[in-house]
Amino acid sequence: MDTLGGPTPIGANGQVSVPKHVLQALGWSSGDRVVLRVVDEEPDVLRIVPEAVALRQLRRGEEAERMMRMTSHVEPTRDESTSE
């Protein structure tokens, strides 16, 4: 599903209107909450993500970070510590 909208001007207050056909294609409607994100790999690209999706991604990232911390504190087993 490729849907293109725009170009859309940025208003005086910094607001951007998302065309109706784009909202419909995404299943979004007035009042839905979104998170705006600029990623290091693509500094010229603004990603608009539904709030629920952004929260899931954040939780997954926090869970991955917690797992990394847990595994970094694991003591090596005898086999691992005696290998030369």
5: pLDDT confidence band, cut at 50, 70 and 90? Answer: confident
- What pLDDT does 66 receive? 75
Domain of residue 39 covers: 16-72
- What pLDDT does 33 receive? 94
Domain count, the chain: 1
Cα(20)–Cα(26) distance, rounded to whole angstroms?
A: 10
Burial 20-45 (b: 16+ CB within 10 A, else e): eeebeeeeeeeeeebeeeeeeeeeee
DSSP state of 36: E
Q: Is the pTM above the cut of 0.75?
A: no
Is there a domain that residue 48 lies in?
A: yes
- Give 31-43 pLDDT, tens digit per residue: 999 999 898 889 8
Please give the residue that has the higher pLDDT: either 67 or 37: 37
List phi, psi (to 5°) of 14: 85, 10
Is there a domain that residue 68 lies in?
A: yes
- What pLDDT does 32 receive? 95
Is there a domain that residue 46 lies in?
A: yes
